[in-house]
Structures are given as structure tokens and as C-alpha cells.
């Protein structure tokens, strides 16, 4: 077993485990902390894939900023563990699970089908990305994708203003009663 | 300043005024709103004067300032630009519109002072002037039509200005619908002309007009001009579409002065003068125009003799005077038509404003039977009204004399004219003198019949100044068209300035050269009409001032005839019986049977189908967002299975 | 020995299966959880799953564009989280409740 494979399995375990606990734990604060763990795991997976810059951004934006937001909101609401963490309807619950199962089966089937068709290179063979991928990313981002980048900047500005406006609003569009 | 800038300011200044007052009509008070509106029109007036001065400085043949701002419609052969032309004809019109318009705006400031919607009123008035300028300046029939419809809209809005009164709102609708009938014919006329000549540009149409008179009734020029003339009978209140104008007096009096006397109603005459080469090429149309004009002049005058409402009298007088203009146009005397149009704008605007002043003083009383002897309360109004009276009954040397005399002379002498047309014109003039004297006598002279609780008073200076200016114009306005026979004995005054000014723009009748009347005949014709009018005025004075009981005796003696005339020949009732009510009945039948049983059923069935389908699907719409997310997931499943199955 | 290859040689398939599994966990959470905030977290989970497959594709096809996409998705996801949480704060201020069961007013 090579180091590559070992790291992959290790990280997959952590990521899947913490993702499951996000979904299963009744206390939202635990869910949030598990989500942090998931993010860190995914960020580490990015590193194994050679996307160093994205991995860093992932850590800063997700594990840092977004998760702080989540935790802050949770603290603001002061929520305890819920008695009814999951939907109660049995038929609808079964339907939902069936949907998830069908989708998972289909995706798995698609992956299997494609595995038969295309000979996939292994990690060692596939290292075609330039060693300084971050630099290449920067160059492409500011040349070919400059419009998208700028549009994103505008979007962020709009979001910032909109969020402030939303959070300041005095609660809903209906009259209070 | 260059011409396109001047033209743009001329056109847009009233529009900007409209926007300002229209957008702030709850906030602008009477003085602010009136000030803005008046200044806007005054700026236009200055531009008009500047353009006019430029036009005068040009050589006679090249007097034409054309500006095209942008291309408006370009479809295949049809090319219409937002083009505007100032030439000798439209120059007179814009001077009259903006000049008289400024005075009437000024008058309105005081007249409408106590109205709640005063800013709205001024906004409409400015919009009207804007549209009127488009109408007269437009270089094609289509641009003209834009203005034509625009003034119709403003007329509707202003007639129904006090729309909370059902009767007034109905009068506005009547004007609008009657005009629509004419407008439909106007459109058809445009189609005919475009189909035949391939252009709607006025200048090009005049160039392309047949040079040989068209004999047939169905020739392109005849048919097109005839349809355009029907359009003109709507806008200019001629038989058979004149019925809206008397009712239009429901609007504020300055509106009657501006729209229903001085400017809009003359649009039909103006259109004919603009297209004179095309009309000249269609002698049949010309004959129809002349006959209808003469008939309207006499017909409306007879009704005018029996009315008791001060504004109604003036309204029928306007219809009658417009008849004169059409008579002039119909005999090919376009210059005379324009001349009368201008002088009429002066003295009729004056009389309407004067009547406004009287109504104002009498606390909204319009019945002349409740007036009398107002001379001593309202000296300025009386004096200016007196000048207008002399002008309209055609006493020399007042404005109306010269223009009316020119029309009568042409009706007699033009190759398209006929002594009968002249006779009708003289008859009309005699009756005009009678009912105008009657109006003067009942309103200002004789014994006072004013109710005790009303205390008439002279109007404020804002109202009297426009009266004085218009009174002055009513005196001197005619001096620019003095006929040759008079100027011959009047050394130092040039003859017929207006005729020479318009001459390059106008065609003379095609058939044969203008056979000139000798001076003696001309003097005789002039003498007959003036003397008859004077006698008629004297008789009216005798009746209504000296022995007020005589008219009643005559009315009794005439019995049914008088009743018929005073009820306006029952024309309104005739229209209701013959056209409107059958239409309403037909519509009601269609509604009760076809619409309810057939068309409605279809929509009901469709609606029920949709509702049934909806109630089936509605169960999916639970409001539970997680279920919606599941639907999205199911959609994904469907798409993926479809892709994989292939 | 193909049976051990699966464990020792890591290919694109491995990453894609991992990504799909993460996505499914996230989807299950979105469908079944009651707490709006937790639902938001599960949405983040799904977005991250997609990011992972993008990066994996980028790596195994040797093209940088996948990373660009991830960069955009990250930014959008952050924005979405901000707006979503602001909305939740609004809803909480109004109803004093974050259980999605109480927000079923948009019924047909």
C-alpha cells in the first residue's frame, strides 16, 4: 500500500464520518463542528490532488468564515438539541430515502459503466498538472476568466449590501400581531 | 441660433411645461403652474418669431426651413422622418398658436385660480400646444396625424376637465368619438394617397399632384382628398360631424377659446391649405368642400340665432365661421381661408375670453337671459367684446371685414365659385350680424336682468390684459390683407401683404386663368354684404334693446319652425335614432346572444378544465420545502435514467 | 491481483465515488432534517462534494479550468451562506422558530 492510497483512505474515512455526523447528530452545534471537520478533510483531499491554492481558500473561506457565521447564528438562537430532528412522516420519509437511494444507485451505475469504458490513469500516472499550479490558476483566472471574476466581485458587493439590508429588516413582510 | 435648435426648443418647450405640471399636479399651486405653462408657451412664441424673421429674410421662392430630427418609420417604400417644416403657411399658424396661446394661458392663470386641478389643467393645455405644433409643423401626413390625434386627446381631456359632472364627461366622449369617425376617414385618405403616389410627405404630394383636373369621382386624388376632407369635417366641426363642438363648451372657457375657436378646429382648413395642389387637382372634392362649407355657415348661423347660452352662441358662430373657411378653400381661395383663419383666431378667442370674463363675473352663470346692462359693471370687457363684435359682423376696417370680404369675393369670382355660394355667404354674414348683435344686446346693453344676489364686477388685470391685446389685434389684424381696390384709394399702405406672402405656396384653380373682377363689381359686392350686415345688426338692436317683446312675438308667429331651430334641428336626436341607438341595440343583441352563449362558454369551459387540472396537481403543493427538494431529486433520477438508458 | 488493486491504486473513480457519497449524505440531510440551519449545512456539504469532483477531474485531465470553477463555486457558496443565514435570522426574529415544519404557508 503506497502512501497515496493510505492518505486517501484515511481522509475519506474522516470526511465521510464527519459528514455522516453532520447529517445525523441532533444537536446543531455538534453538526456545525462536524461540518468543520468535513471541510478540513476535503481541504486535505484537495492537497492530495495538487490544488494547493484551492485547498487554502477552502480552509479560509469555509472552515473559517462560513463556519463562524453558522456557529454565530446558532449561538444567537441558543438552540438546544431537538426532540424532533428528522421529519416524522413515514411515507414521505420512505419516499425521500427511496429517491436518495435511486439517485445513488444511478450515479454509482454511471461510474461503473464509465469505469468499464475508459482506462483510468492512477494518481502517479496522472500528475500532468504543472508543479506551480497556483501560478497557472492565477494567470488563467485573470486572463480567460476575467469577466466571470469581475462579475463575481459585483455579486459579492450586492450580496454584502443585501445581507445587511435583510438582517436589519424588522422581521418579515407581514404585519405583526 | 441654428434652425434645428430653434425648432427643437419651439416644440419641446410646451412639452417640458407639460411634464413639470403633469408630474407635480397635486403640488403646484395656481400661480406656479400657470407661470410655468405661460412661460413655456411664451418661449415657443419667441422661437416662432425668430423663425418667422429668418423666413422673411430669405428670398421669396426659397422660404422653407426644414428640419428632420431622426428617421421615424422606414418600411419598404414608406419612409417617414420626424421632420418639421416652417414655411409661409405654417409660420402663420405657429405665430397664431403660440401668440394667442400665450394670451389664453395668461388669462387662465386668473380664470382657473380657484380650481383644485389647476396644475393638471395647465399640463393638458401645454400638451395641447405641443401637439398642435406637431400638427402644423409636421412635414408628412403621418406626423400631422400624430398631432391630429394628440390635439383630439387633449380636447377630450379638457372638455371633460370637470369630469365629476356626468354631462361634461359625456360631452368629452362625444367629441372624442365624433372625431374618431373623421379620423378613420383621414387614415383611409392617407392610405389612398400612399397607394397612388407612394409618399406621404406633404411637399412631395403637392409636387406629384396631377396637373390636369381629375373629372372622375373615383380618381386617386379625388377619393383621397374627399376622405381627408371627411377627416377635416370631424376635426373642424362641419356638417355632418359638427355636433360635438357645441357640447364641447362644457370645458373651461379659456379652453374653448384656445382649442375650440382659435387653433384645433382650424386644423382641417390648415390641412387642406397644406395639400392645396392635391385638392386643386380634384374639382369634385373642391365642389363638395365649398358646398358643405357654405351650408354649414348658414345652418350653424340659424341655430346660433336661437341659443340662450352665451358659449353656445359663440360655439355655433365658430362652426359657422369655419364654414366660411371651408367655403374659401373649396373655391380655391386658400389664401383667403388662411386669412380668415387668422383673423377669426383673434376675434373669436377674444369673444370667448370675454365671455369667460362675463361668466366669471356672473358666478358661473351662462344664460344670457339672466344678464343685461353689464356694460356699466365691466367696461373693459364690454369695450373689447365690442371690438370683437364689430370684427365678426364684418364692419370695416375691423379684421373680420377684410377676410370675410375676400372670401365672398372669391366665392363669387373664382372659377370654382358660384353666385349661389356667394349668396349663401352673404346670408350667413347677415345672420351672423343678427345673432352677434343679439348676444351683445342681451349681455351688455338694455335693462339688467341680473339676479339680486349676483354682483357683477370687472375681472382682474390678468384677465383684461389678454382681452386688450386681442381686441387690438381684432382691429388691426385685417390690415395685412387689404384688397387692391381699397389700397388704391389708401395711399401708402401696401395691398394684400398676406396674399403675396402665401402666393408661392398656393396653386390657383386649374381650369382657366383667374378672371379679374373690375373695381366696380368688387365695390358693389363689398357694399351689399356690409350694408346688409349693418341693417341686420340694426334690426337686432331694435329687437333686443328697444322693444324686447318683439322677438318673442316673432318666435310665436313662426311656431314650429322656431321650435325646430332652437332645438338645433333635432340633429342630435336624429343621430341617436338613426345611428347610435341601432348600434347600441345591435351590440346588446350580440352581447346577450353571441357573447354570453358562445364566446363566454368557451372561456368558461377552458377555465373549468384548468381549474380541474389544478385541483389535481394542487395536492403536490404541500408547502413542505423538503418535499419540493425531493421532487428535484426525482427529476434528477428521471434525467439520469433517461441518459443511461439510451 | 485485481482485488487488491482497488485498495492500493487510487484512480479518478475513487474520488468520484467519495464525492457521490458525500453528495448523497448531504441530500439525505436536506430531505430529512428539520432544523433550517442544519439544512443549510447539508447544502454546503453537497456543494463541497461537487467541488471535490471538479478538482479530481482537473487533476486527472491535467487542465486547470476545474479549479477555476471550484473557485467560483466557493465564492458563490459563501455568498449563499451569508444570504441564507440572514434570511434565517429574519425568519427567526419573526417566528421564534427554526423548525421547517412551521414554514408551510405556501400551500396550494
Where does the pLDDT of residue B515 fall: very low under 50, low under 70, confident under 90, or very high at 90 and above? low
pLDDT per residue as tens digits for the range A42-79: 999 999 888 889 999 999 988 888 888 888 888 888 77
Where does the pLDDT of residue B383 fall: very low under 50, low under 70, confident under 90, or very high at 90 and above? very high
Among chain C residues, the shortest Cα distance to A93 is held by: C32
Inter-chain touch A9–C25, beta carbons under 8 Å? no
Among B147-151, B297-301, B366-370, the range scoring the smallest mean pLDDT is B366-370
> Is the minimum CB–CB distance between A106 and chain B shorter than 8 Å?
yes
- For chain C, the structural domain boundaries read 2-102
Question: Is the domain of B332 the same as that of B448?
Answer: yes
B624 neighbourhood in chain C, CB within 8 Å: 100, 104
B624 neighbourhood in chain A, CB within 8 Å: 92
Question: Is the domain of B131 the same as that of B152?
Answer: no
Where does the pLDDT of residue A120 fall: very low under 50, low under 70, confident under 90, or very high at 90 and above? low
C86 neighbourhood in chain A, CB within 8 Å: 162-163, 166-167
> Is the minimum CB–CB distance between C16 and chain A shorter than 8 Å?
yes
Most C CBs within 10 Å, among A34, A166, A173, to test the C interface: A166
Among chain A residues, the shortest Cα distance to C30 is held by: A23
Inter-chain touch A87–B637, beta carbons under 8 Å? no
Mean pLDDT of A118-138: 69
Rounded Cα gap, residues A163 and A169, in angstroms? 10
Residue B271 clears pLDDT 50, i.e. is over it: yes
> Is the minimum CB–CB distance between B639 and chain C shorter than 8 Å?
no
Among B205-209, B563-567, C52-56, the range scoring the smallest mean pLDDT is B563-567
The model carries a pTM of 0.70
Among A36-40, B97-101, B620-624, the range scoring the smallest mean pLDDT is B620-624
pLDDT per residue as tens digits for the range B173-232: 999 999 999 999 999 999 999 999 989 999 999 888 888 877 888 888 899 999 999 999
Q: Which of B139, B154, B172 is at the close of a domain?
A: B139
Output the pLDDT for position A123.
63
Question: Is the domain of B110 the same as that of B60?
Answer: yes
Torsion of CA B291, B297, B303, B304, to 10 degrees: 180
Output the pLDDT for position A155.
92
Q: Is residue B576 part of a domain?
A: no
Inter-chain touch A96–B641, beta carbons under 8 Å? no
Inter-chain touch B622–C105, beta carbons under 8 Å? no
> Is the minimum CB–CB distance between A110 and chain B shorter than 8 Å?
yes
Output the pLDDT for position A124.
59
Inter-chain touch B625–C100, beta carbons under 8 Å? yes
> Is the minimum CB–CB distance between B621 and chain C shorter than 8 Å?
yes
Among chain A residues, the shortest Cα distance to C90 is held by: A171
Among A117-126, A138-147, B396-405, the range scoring the smallest mean pLDDT is A117-126
Between residues 30 and 49 of chain A, which touch chain B (CB distance below 8 Å)?
none
- The CATH fold of domain C2-102: Helix Hairpins (1.10.287)
Chains contacting A (3 or more CB pairs within 8 Å):
B, C
Rounded Cα gap, residues A61 and A44, in angstroms? 14
Chains contacting C (3 or more CB pairs within 8 Å):
A, B
Task: State percent of chain C over pLDDT 90.
Answer: 39
Taking the CA of residue A161 and the nearest CA in chain C, the distance in Å comes to 10
Among B131-145, B507-521, B540-554, the range scoring the smallest mean pLDDT is B507-521
Mean pLDDT, chain B, as a whole number?
89
Question: Is the domain of B4 the same as that of B88?
Answer: yes
> Is the minimum CB–CB distance between A92 and chain C shorter than 8 Å?
no
* C-alpha cell of residue B129: 400646444
Among A82-86, B123-127, B452-456, C36-40, the range scoring the smallest mean pLDDT is A82-86
Q: Are strands B65-75 and B78-86 parallel, antiparallel or unpaired?
A: antiparallel
Q: Among C30, C105, C106, whose Cβ lies nearest the Cβ of B629?
A: C30
Most A CBs within 10 Å, among B620, B623, B630, to test the A interface: B630
Chains contacting B (3 or more CB pairs within 8 Å):
A, C
Inter-chain touch C107–B623, beta carbons under 8 Å? yes
Inter-chain touch C52–A42, beta carbons under 8 Å? yes
Most A CBs within 10 Å, among B620, B624, B633, B645, to test the A interface: B633
> Is the minimum CB–CB distance between A136 and chain C shorter than 8 Å?
yes
Are C55 and A54 in contact by the 8 Å Cβ rule? The answer is yes
Residue ranges of domains in chain A, CATH in brackets: 1-83 (1.20.120.1200)
Among B138-142, B435-439, B457-461, B617-621, the range scoring the smallest mean pLDDT is B617-621
Inter-chain touch C107–B633, beta carbons under 8 Å? no
Are B261 and B325 in contact by the 8 Å Cβ rule? The answer is no
Inter-chain touch C24–A85, beta carbons under 8 Å? no
Output the pLDDT for position C3.
56
CA angle A137–A142–A144, rounded 5-degree value:
90
List, in order, residues 6 or more apart from B21 with CB less than 8 Å away. B28, B33, B36, B37, B119, B120, B122, B123, B126
Inter-chain touch C38–A172, beta carbons under 8 Å? no
Rounded Cα gap, residues B290 and B421, in angstroms? 8
Mean pLDDT of A86-115: 84
pLDDT per residue as tens digits for the range B51-74: 999 999 988 888 889 999 999 988
List, in order, residues 6 or more apart from A28 with CB less than 8 Å away. A74, A79, A82, C35, C37, C38
Q: Which of B502, B534, B566 is at the close of a domain?
A: B566
Task: State percent of chain B over pLDDT 70.
Answer: 98
Question: Is the domain of B561 the same as that of B587?
Answer: no
Output the pLDDT for position A122.
66
> Is the minimum CB–CB distance between A107 and chain B shorter than 8 Å?
yes
Taking the CA of residue C54 and the nearest CA in chain A, the distance in Å comes to 10
Mean pLDDT of B389-393: 92
Output the pLDDT for position B512.
47
DSSP state of B208: H
Question: Is the domain of B327 the same as that of B441?
Answer: yes
pLDDT per residue as tens digits for the range B467-497: 999 999 999 888 888 887 777 777 667 777 8
Residue B432 clears pLDDT 80, i.e. is over it: yes
Inter-chain touch B626–C27, beta carbons under 8 Å? no
Range of the domain at B84: 1-139
Output the pLDDT for position C6.
74
Taking the CA of residue A120 and the nearest CA in chain C, the distance in Å comes to 6
Output the pLDDT for position B551.
81
C11 neighbourhood in chain A, CB within 8 Å: 120-123
Output the pLDDT for position B514.
53
Q: Which residues pair with B124 in a beta bridge?
A: none
Candidates C54, C70, C61; CA nearest to A145 is C70
DSSP state of A87: -
> Is the minimum CB–CB distance between C50 and chain A shorter than 8 Å?
no
Inter-chain touch C51–A42, beta carbons under 8 Å? yes
Q: Among B630, B640, B644, whose Cβ lies nearest the Cβ of A96?
A: B630
Q: Among A100, A109, A110, whose Cβ lies nearest the Cβ of B633?
A: A100
Output the pLDDT for position C11.
83
Taking the CA of residue A141 and the nearest CA in chain C, the distance in Å comes to 7
Rounded Cα gap, residues A164 and C83, in angstroms? 9
Helix (H, G, I), strand (E, B) or coil at B152: helix
Question: Is the domain of B159 the same as that of B125?
Answer: no
Candidates B43, B232, B67; CA nearest to B137 is B67
Output the pLDDT for position A177.
46
Q: Is residue B574 part of a domain?
A: no
Where does the pLDDT of residue C1 fall: very low under 50, low under 70, confident under 90, or very high at 90 and above? very low
Output the pLDDT for position B1.
61
Q: Is residue B571 part of a domain?
A: no
Q: Among B630, B641, B644, whose Cβ lies nearest the Cβ of A99?
A: B630
Mean pLDDT of B249-270: 92
Indicate the number of domains in chain B: 3
Rounded Cα gap, residues B299 and B184, in angstroms? 25
B636 neighbourhood in chain A, CB within 8 Å: 103
Mean pLDDT of A134-153: 89
Taking the CA of residue C65 and the nearest CA in chain B, the distance in Å comes to 25
Question: Is the domain of B154 the same as that of B216?
Answer: yes
Output the pLDDT for position B209.
86
Inter-chain touch B641–A106, beta carbons under 8 Å? yes
Question: Is the domain of B158 the same as that of B134?
Answer: no
Question: Is the domain of B155 the same as that of B8?
Answer: no
> Is the minimum CB–CB distance between A95 and chain B shorter than 8 Å?
yes
Question: Is the domain of B454 the same as that of B593?
Answer: no
Q: Is residue B575 part of a domain?
A: no
Q: Which residues pair with B74 in a beta bridge?
A: B79
Residue B367 clears pLDDT 60, i.e. is over it: yes
Inter-chain touch C107–B626, beta carbons under 8 Å? no
Handedness of CA B533, B539, B543, B547 (dihedral sign): positive
Inter-chain touch B630–C104, beta carbons under 8 Å? no
Question: Is the domain of B70 the same as that of B183?
Answer: no
Q: Which of B110, B139, B168 is at the close of a domain?
A: B139
Amino acid at each position: 500500500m503506497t502512501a497515496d492510497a493510505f492518505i486517501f483512505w484515511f481522509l475519506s474515512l474522516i470526511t465521510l464520518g464527519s459528514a455522516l455526523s453532520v447529517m445525523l447528530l441532533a444537536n446543531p452545534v455538534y453538526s456545525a463542528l462536524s461540518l468543520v471537520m468535513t471541510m478540513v478533510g476535503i481541504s486535505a483531499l484537495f492537497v492530495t490532488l495538487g490544488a494547493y491554492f484551492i485547498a487554502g481558500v477552502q480552509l479560509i473561506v469555509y472552515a473559517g468564515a462560513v463556519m463562524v457565521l453558522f456557529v454565530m447564528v446558532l449561538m444567537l438562537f441558543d438552540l438546544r438539541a431537538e426532540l424532533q430532528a428528522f421529519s416524522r412522516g413515514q411515507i414521505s420519509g420512505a419516499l425521500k430515502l427511496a429517491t436518495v437511494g435511486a439517485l445513488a444507485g444511478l450515479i454509482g451505475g454511471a461510474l461503473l459503466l464509465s469505469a468499464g469504458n475508459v482506462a483510468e490513469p492512477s494518481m502517479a500516472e496522472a500528475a500532468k498538472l504543472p508543479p506551480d499550479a497556483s501560478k497557472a490558476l492565477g494567470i488563467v483566472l485573470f486572463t480567460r476568466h476575467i469577466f466571470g471574476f469581475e462579475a463575481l466581485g459585483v455579486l459579492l458587493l450586492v450580496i454584502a449590501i443585501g445581507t445587511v439590508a435583510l438582517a436589519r429588516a424588522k422581521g418579515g413582510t407581514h404585519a405583526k400581531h | 441660433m441654428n434652425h434645428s435648435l430653434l425648432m427643437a426648443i419651439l416644440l419641446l418647450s410646451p412639452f417640458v411645461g407639460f411634464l413639470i405640471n403633469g408630474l407635480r399636479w397635486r403640488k403646484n399651486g395656481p400661480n406656479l403652474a400657470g407661470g410655468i405653462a405661460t412661460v413655456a408657451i411664451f418661449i415657443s412664441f419667441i422661437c416662432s418669431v425668430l423663425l418667422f424673421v429668418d423666413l422673411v429674410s430669405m428670398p421669396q421662392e426659397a422660404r422653407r426651413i426644414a428640419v428632420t430630427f431622426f428617421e421615424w418609420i422606414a418600411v419598404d417604400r414608406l419612409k417617414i422622418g420626424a421632420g418639421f417644416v416652417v414655411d409661409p403657411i405654417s409660420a402663420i399658424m405657429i405665430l397664431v398658436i403660440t401668440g394667442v396661446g400665450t394670451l389664453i394661458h395668461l388669462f387662465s392663470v386668473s380664470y382657473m385660480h380657484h380650481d383644485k386641478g389647476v396644475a393638471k389643467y395647465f399640463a393638458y393645455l401645454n400638451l395641447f400646444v405641443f401637439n398642435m405644433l406637431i400638427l402644423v409643423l409636421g412635414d408628412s401626413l403621418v406626423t400631422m396625424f400624430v398631432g391630429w390625434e394628440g390635439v383630439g386627446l387633449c380636447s377630450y381631456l379638457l372638455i371633460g376637465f370637470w369630469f365629476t359632472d356626468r354631462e361634461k364627461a359625456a360631452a368629452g366622449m362625444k367629441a372624442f368619438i365624433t372625431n374618431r369617425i373623421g379620423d378613420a376617414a383621414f387614415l383611409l385618405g392617407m392610405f389612398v394617397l400612399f397607394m397612388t403616389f407612394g409618399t406621404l410627405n406633404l411637399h412631395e404630394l403637392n409636387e406629384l399632384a396631377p396637373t390636369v383636373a381629375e373629372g372622375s369621382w373615383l380618381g386617386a386624388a379625388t377619393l383621397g382628398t374627399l376622405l381627408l376632407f371627411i377627416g377635416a369635417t370631424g376635426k373642424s366641426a362641419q356638417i355632418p360631424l359638427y355636433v360635438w363642438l357645441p357640447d364641447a363648451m362644457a370645458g373651461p372657457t379659456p379652453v374653448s377659446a384656445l382649442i375650440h375657436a382659435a387653433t384645433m378646429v382650424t386644423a382641417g382648413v390648415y390641412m387642406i391649405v397644406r395639400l392645396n395642389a392635391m385638392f386643386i387637382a380634384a374639382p369634385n372634392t373642391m365642389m363638395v368642400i365649398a358646398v358643405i362649407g357654405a351650408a354649414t355657415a348658414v345652418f350653424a348661423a340659424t341655430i346660433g340665432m336661437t341659443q340662450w347660452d352665451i358659449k353656445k352662441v359663440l360655439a355655433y358662430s365658430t362652426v359657422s365661421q369655419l364654414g366660411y373657411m371651408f367655403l374659401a378653400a373649396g373655391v380655391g381661395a386658400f389664401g383667403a381661408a388662411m386669412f380668415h383663419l387668422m383673423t377669426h383666431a383673434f376675434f373669436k378667442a377674444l369673444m370667448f375670453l370675454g365671455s369667460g370674463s362675463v361668466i366669471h363675473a356672473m358666478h358661473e352663470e351662462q344664460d344670457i337671459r339672466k344678464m343685461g346692462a353689464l356694460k356699466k359693471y365691466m367696461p373693459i370687457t364690454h369695450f373689447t367684446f365690442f371690438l370683437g363684435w364689430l370684427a365678426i359682423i364684418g364692419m370695416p376696417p375691423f379684421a373680420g371685414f377684410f377676410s370675410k370680404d375676400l372670401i365672398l369675393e372669391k366665392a363669387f369670382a373664382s372659377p370654382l365659385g358660384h353666385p349661389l355660394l356667394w349668396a349663401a355667404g352673404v346670408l350667413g354674414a347677415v345672420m351672423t350680424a343678427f345673432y352677434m348683435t343679439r348676444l351683445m344686446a342681451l349681455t351688455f346693453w338694455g335693462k339688467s336682468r341680473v339676479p339680486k344676489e349676483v354682483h357683477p364686477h370687472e375681472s382682474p388685470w390678468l384677465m383684461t390684459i389678454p382681452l386688450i391685446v386681442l381686441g387690438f389685434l381684432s382691429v388691426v389684424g385685417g390690415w395685412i390683407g387689404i384688397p387692391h381696390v381699397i389700397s388704391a384709394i389708401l395711399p401708402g399702405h401696401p395691398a394684400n401683404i398676406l396674399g403675396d406672402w402665401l402666393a408661392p405656396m398656393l396653386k390657383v384653380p386649374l381650369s382657366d386663368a383667374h378672371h379679374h373682377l373690375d373695381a366696380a363689381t368688387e365695390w358693389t359686392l363689398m357694399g351689399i354684404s356690409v350694408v346688409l350686415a349693418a341693417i341686420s345688426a340694426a334690426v337686432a338692436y331694435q329687437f333686443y334693446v328697444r322693444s324686447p317683446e318683439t322677438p318673442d312675438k316673432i318666435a310665436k308667429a313662426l311656431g314650429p319652425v322656431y321650435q325646430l331651430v332652437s332645438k338645433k334641428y333635432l340633429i342630435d336626436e336624429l343621430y341617436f335614432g338613426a345611428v347610435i341607438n341601432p348600434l347600441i341595440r345591435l351590440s346588446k343583441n350580440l352581447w346577450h346572444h353571441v357573447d354570453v352563449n358562445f364566446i363566454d362558454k368557451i372561456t368558461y369551459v377552458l377555465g373549468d378544465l384548468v381549474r380541474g387540472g389544478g385541483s389535481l396537481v394542487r395536492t403536490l403543493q404541500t408547502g413542505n420545502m423538503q418535499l419540493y427538494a425531493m421532487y428535484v431529486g426525482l427529476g434528477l433520477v428521471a434525467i439520469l435514467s433517461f441518459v443511461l438508458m439510451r | 491481483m485485481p482485488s487488491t488493486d482497488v485498495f492500493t491504486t487510487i484512480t479518478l473513480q475513487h474520488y468520484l465515488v467519495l464525492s457521490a457519497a458525500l453528495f448523497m449524505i448531504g441530500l439525505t440531510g436536506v430531505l430529512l432534517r428539520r432544523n433550517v440551519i442544519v439544512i443549510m449545512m447539508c447544502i454546503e456539504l453537497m456543494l463541497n462534494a461537487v467541488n471535490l469532483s471538479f478538482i479530481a477531474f482537473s487533476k486527472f485531465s491535467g487542465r486547470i479550468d476545474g479549479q477555476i470553477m471550484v473557485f467560483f463555486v466557493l465564492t458563490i457558496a459563501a455568498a449563499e451562506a451569508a444570504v441564507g443565514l440572514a434570511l434565517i435570522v429574519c425568519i427567526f426574529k419573526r417566528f421564534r422558530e427554526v423548525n421547517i415544519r412551521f414554514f408551510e404557508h405556501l400551500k396550494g
